[in-house]
Structures are given as C-alpha cells and as structure tokens.
Chain A
Amino acid sequence: MQANTLAILPEISLAVLAALLILIDLRLKPERKALLPGITAAGLLAVLALTLAFARPGAAPESIWGGMLRHDTAAFVFRLIFLFGAAVTCLFTIGWKQVERRGEFFVLLVLSTLGMTLMAAAGDLIMLFLAIETASIPLYVMAGFMTADEKSTESGFKYLLFGALTSSVMVYGFSLLYGFAGTTDLYALAAAVASGDLPPLGLLGALVLVLAGFGFKVAVVPFHFWAPDVYEGAPTPVTAFLSTASKSAGFAVVVRFLLAVFPAAVLPQIIGVAALMSVLSMTLGNSAALAQRNIKRLLAYSSIAHAGYILMGVAAASLLGAASVVYYLAVYLVTNLAAFGVVIIYFNVVGSDEIKDYAGLSRRHPGLAFALLVALLSLAGVPPLGGFFAKILVFAAAVEAGLIWLAVAGVLNAILGLYYYLMVLKVVYLDRGPDEDKPLPVRRAHMAALVVCLLLVLALGTVLGPMYDWSNLAAGGLF
C-alpha cells in the first residue's frame, strides 16, 4: 500500500498544490496577486523535486492501484517532462494581463498537469479515459480564458467541440475493444491481442476510432484542424502549454498504446497507418507553415509537422523508435517553450504576433533575437542543437525498421522546414523596423526561464548521455 501511495506522490502533491492555490488566491491581497505565477511555478518545481526524490520506479515495471496505473520509467520520465513544461509555462504567464492575477487559471493549469501525469501512467482504459479528460477539460477553459476577447472564447469553444467529438469517437473505440477482449486492463488487452484470437480487421477498425482521440491530443493529420485556430486564439502561454506538455502527454499515450498494447507483430497494418499519418503531418504542416504571416499560426503548423516527425519513431515500432519519441519530445518541449517564450515577451511589449512586426528585433534586443535564433534553428534541426540529434534519432529508427522512404520524406521535410524558420530569422535579423531605438524590457523571470530552456536545448544536442539513457529506459519500461 505504501508503495502504491509513493508511486502517485506526484499526483497527490499536484492535487494538494491546486487546493493550496485556491486558498492562497482567496487570501492574497489584490496588489500581491502578481505573485501567483511565481508561487505556482515554485510549487510545480517542488513537485518535480519530490517526484525525482521519491517516486522513482523500480527496475521492473509494476501495476499498481488494481492495474489502474503502471509504475514504470516511461511514466516517470514523462511526468518530469510535463512538470517542467507546466512550471516554465507559469513563468511565461507573468505579465500576461488577463491571466497573471487570476488564481483560477493556475489551479486549472495544475489540474491539467495532474491529468497528463495520469495519462502517462494509465494502465487501464477507464483510467486512460479519465486522465485524458482531466487533462483536456481545464485546457478548454484555459484556451477560452480571456472571456472579453472574442478570439480567445472562439478558440476555447472550437477546442472543446473538437475535443468532445474526438473523445466520444475514442470512447466508442474503447467500447469495441472491450467487446473484443472482455477487459479494460491495457496489459490484459495486450495479452489478448498477442494471442491472435481476436479478429484483426475488427481490432484495426476499433484502433482507428481510438486513434481519433489520441490524434486530436497530439494534433496530427487528419485530426489537426483545430490546432491553428486554437493556437492563434488562445492566450500565448496556453498555446505554449498546448503545443508542448499536452502534445507530449498525447504521445505518451500513443507510444504505450501502439507499441505495448498493439504490437506491430500482431497488427502489421498499424505501421502503415502511423507512417501515412506521419508523412501527411510533416508535409501538410510544413507546407502550410510556409504561407503564414502570424507567428503563432506558423508555430501551430510547425507543431503539426513535428508531430509527424515524432510519429516516425512510433511507426518504427521498435525500442529505438520509442526511445527516439521520448528524446524528441524532451527536446521539442524545451525548444518550443523557448520559441513561445520569445513570442510572449515580444507580444507583452509590442502587442503583435505578426511576423512582419518582428523586423528589427535583433537591434532592439540582441539577446532575445539570439534566443529566437537558437530555438528556431533547433526546431529546424541544425547541429549542434537538440533538434538535430532528436531528428537523427527518429530518422535512424525509421531506417532501422526498413522504412527508408519515410526517412527520406522526413529529410526532405526538414529542408522545407528550415526554409520558413529562416524566413522568420531573416525578418528578425535583416529587416529594419520603425521602433529600433526603443528599449525592449525583458523581465528577470522570463529571462531566467529562457536561459534555462536554451541551455537545455544546447545540452540535449551536445551532452547526449543522460537523456538518451533515460529515453532508452523509458522505452524499455513500456513493454
């Protein structure tokens, strides 16, 4: 029982943090409410430390809480990823007027993070469904949080409609899986699938329905329609959170589901489905990003493309593939947070998300321009940054699995991606803007968060060892 409790220490402490935040918000004097983001970030980092110290899984994966959760390295590593992403998101909300003084926002952020940690650990369809909804429902509200802003409410509304639709499709898929296998336990389901007694075509159909729900969470083609609109309309810190932590949570579920429950050995068609979705996401995301004038929309399409690269690791359906997914997600988290951090800082001062308004940024604030440079080059996959090694890993996984055409498509897409990231950097570095001599103040907390993210981007591209070992352990724990 004690082991059970320690294993969900992150979840318990997140729930406590949310309750504390409600109380603190109630007691805090109005003029001190600006402390809320800092308090939340500190709380999340404390949970991160607790997780590192006490909630480490043993060498062998365990089923706990009556099979509801899995206590393995995959869940552990993903928890760290979400907690870090949530903490950085909190720091970036400092200065976002409609949000930074609202305690409810941070309560929702913490509860959503709680849902994500459960998503990564869920070992049962019931738990998985509840975890996905616990992560999603606060996000709907957070996207529509600026209720006086019509773009924000529209964004939350679209996110909710699409989310509710795909989750009902997913539940239907779950009910079919339950009908085929007679169990809701993921690993009992895996055993039933592996026995080969279940009708493959029926399973594949149910799986496609389930993938609609997961595909929505990670925003891959053809379940990506919501992403650009929601990303553009939501408050930018929420967009950052959506495109990093929420996407990672979706992929945590996808790798467990596709690699552990539906091994390609039993259902080889899965590889085809995943590879097809991967190619479509990369190509569509990158080519649509080319035409964007708004930086948030550009990053939205770029995040669809990156979901495609990550799916390549899933399509490889191997240990290396799963490890590459984990590594890619860690890199993508810090890189994209840095990119959105710059967007948030710039919007707070300038009030625009249009790419053309970034002209002259390098003269106004060289440090900020450099941060954007590093983040975008890492997204593009330029060495020695983290994005380069992450891409190499997924490509290697695809080649190892014999999907050479997929790797080639990935490389071509990386070149296409490089083009539009460079277009943004051209505006930042070469174009002259009208306000070049005006100062651009950057808050200390923002700078600190940016520096941490950028150092991690660099570290993940040069000091590969620790994270790579973790990724491998996490991948091993899935099976």
Chain B
Amino acid sequence: MQPELIVFFVLGTVAVGSAIGMLLSRNAVYSALFLILNFATVAVFYLVLGAPFIAMVQVTVYAGAIMVLFLFVIMLLGAEHLERRTGADWQKPIAALLGVVLLVEAGYVLLSESVSLPGINVPAADYGAPVAIGELLFSEYLLPFEVTSVLLLAAMVGAIVITRRDAPRRKKR
C-alpha cells in the first residue's frame, strides 16, 4: 500500500470516528471536543492536499475561534445535559430526503466509471501558498472580499443587539 493511502485511511478513520463521537456523546462539552478533533484532522487533510493557508485558517478560525465560542456558550448556559426526550420534528422529512439524495449521489460518483473526475497530480511548488491566495483575494476576488466586511459588520451588530439586555426580564416556566 502506498504511504499516501495509509495516511488517508488513518486520518479518515480519525475524522469519521470523531464525527461519530460527537453524535453519540451525551455531554455537549465532549461533543464540542470531538468536533475540534475532527476539524484538526481535516486541517491535516488540507495540508496533504496542498492548502497550507486554508489549513492554518481552519485551525485558528474553526478549531480555535468558533469552537471556543461554542464551548463558552455551552458552559455559560450550563447546557451540557439539556436533552431529555426525542420526538417528531419539523425538519425531519427534508433532512431524510436530502440524506438519501446525497448518498445516492456519492455512490454514483464513486461507483460509476462514466463519471470522469480528475486525478490528483503533484501540483506546482507554490500551489496554495499564502502569497498566491492573497494575490487572488485582492485582485479577482476583491469584491467578495469586501462583501465579507459587510457581512461581518452585520453579524457583529446582530450578535450585540441580540445578547444586549436592556429590559432584564426572565420568564420562569
């Protein structure tokens, strides 16, 4: 077996295992920690795939900032064990449908010979380098880059508005 394949399967097992761990943990903190492991594994995949910049962003933004925010809120609310019963739900049918569509799609892509997906070759030396990404972001993708500033402004204003407590009222059930 080629070393790349071994790396893929080891990492893949960790990624899938941590995702399953997240699903099955009864404690929300464990779920968050499993998800961080999953994100870190995916970051290693990004490195293998020649995307060092994205890998670093994944670690700092996803595994770092976003998941810390999750952990913070879980602990703030004391929401580790806030799960009692399962029942019917408004989003079940659609997610089931989409799941089936997705698995069929993936199976089709994997099994059918007629689908020609490109193979993976050894890329140019500077492929995925931060410099290359930065140049693209400030030339071809300048407009989307500026739009993200608007988006982040909206999110910041929104998060502050929602959590600010100007009329302290807490309804007891």
User: For the complex, what is the distance from the CA of A291 to the CA of B151, rounded to whole Å?
Assistant: 39
Q: Which A residues are CB-close (under 8 A) to B118?
A: 182
Q: List 8 A-B contacts (CB under 8 A).
A: A18-B153, A127-B143, A147-B161, A156-B162, A165-B95, A199-B114, A202-B109, A226-B90
A145 contacts B by Cβ under 8 Å? yes
A68 contacts B by Cβ under 8 Å? yes
Shortest distance between the CB of B173 and any CB in chain A (Å): 10
- Decide if A126 touches B157 in the complex (CB within 8 Å): no
Of the 9-residue stretches B15-23, B50-58, B134-142, which lies at the interface with chain A? Answer: B134-142
User: For the complex, what is the distance from the CA of A307 to the CA of B5, rounded to whole Å?
Assistant: 48
- Decide if B143 touches A179 in the complex (CB within 8 Å): no
Report the interface size for chain A: residues with CB under 8 A from the other chain.
57
Give the tally of cross-chain contacts (CB within 8 A): 120
- Extra 14 A-B pairs, beta carbons < 8 Å, given A112-B154, A179-B117: A102-B161, A104-B157, A126-B141, A127-B144, A127-B147, A134-B147, A134-B150, A137-B151, A141-B157, A144-B162, A156-B162, A199-B108, A205-B102, A209-B102
- Decide if B143 touches A69 in the complex (CB within 8 Å): yes
Q: Which positions 90-122 of chain B face chain A at CB distance < 8 Å?
A: 90-91, 93-95, 97-98, 101-102, 104-105, 108-109, 112, 114-115, 117-118
- Decide if A107 touches B157 in the complex (CB within 8 Å): yes
- Decide if B158 touches A169 in the complex (CB within 8 Å): no
CB closest residue in chain B, given A66: B140
A114 contacts B by Cβ under 8 Å? yes
B81 contacts A by Cβ under 8 Å? no
User: For the complex, what is the distance from the CA of A467 to the CA of B164, rounded to whole Å?
Assistant: 44
User: For the complex, what is the distance from the CA of A69 to the CA of B142, rounded to whole Å?
Assistant: 12
Tell me whether A172 and B102 are in contact in the complex, defined as CB-CB below 8 angstroms, given that A8-B143, A102-B161, A141-B158 are known contacts.
yes
B84 contacts A by Cβ under 8 Å? no
Q: Which B residues are CB-close (under 8 A) to A229?
A: 90
Tell me whether A201 and B108 are in contact in the complex, defined as CB-CB below 8 angstroms, given that A108-B157, A118-B147 are known contacts.
yes
A176 contacts B by Cβ under 8 Å? yes
B85 contacts A by Cβ under 8 Å? no
Question: By DSSP majority rule, is chain B's interface helix, strand, loop, or mixed?
Answer: helix
Q: Which A residues are CB-close (under 8 A) to B167?
A: 147-148
Q: Which B residues are CB-close (under 8 A) to A65?
A: 142-143
CB closest residue in chain B, given A166: B94
Q: Which A residues are CB-close (under 8 A) to B142?
A: 65-66
Interface readout for A370-405 with B: 1 if CB under 8 Å, 0 if not? 000000000000000000000000000000000000
Q: Which B residues are CB-close (under 8 A) to A274?
A: none
Q: Which B residues are CB-close (under 8 A) to A150?
A: 171
A225 contacts B by Cβ under 8 Å? yes
Q: Which B residues are CB-close (under 8 A) to A165?
A: 91, 95
B49 contacts A by Cβ under 8 Å? no
Identify which of A68, A156, A176 contacts B105 (C-beta below 8 A).
Answer: A176
Q: Which A residues are CB-close (under 8 A) to B144?
A: 68, 124, 126-127, 130
User: For the complex, what is the distance from the CA of A69 to the CA of B147, rounded to whole Å?
Assistant: 12
- Decide if A111 touches B153 in the complex (CB within 8 Å): yes
Shortest distance between the CB of B45 and any CB in chain A (Å): 14
Shortest distance between the CB of A80 and any CB in chain B (Å): 20
- Decide if B102 touches A68 in the complex (CB within 8 Å): no
A52 contacts B by Cβ under 8 Å? no
CB closest residue in chain B, given A128: B144
Q: Which B residues are CB-close (under 8 A) to A201?
A: 108
CB closest residue in chain A, given B140: A66
CB closest residue in chain B, given A19: B153
Shortest distance between the CB of A262 and any CB in chain B (Å): 16
- Decide if B105 touches A225 in the complex (CB within 8 Å): no
Identify which of A105, A134, A199, A226 contacts B112 (C-beta below 8 A).
Answer: A199
A218 contacts B by Cβ under 8 Å? no
- Decide if A15 touches B150 in the complex (CB within 8 Å): yes
User: For the complex, what is the distance from the CA of A60 to the CA of B150, rounded to whole Å?
Assistant: 30
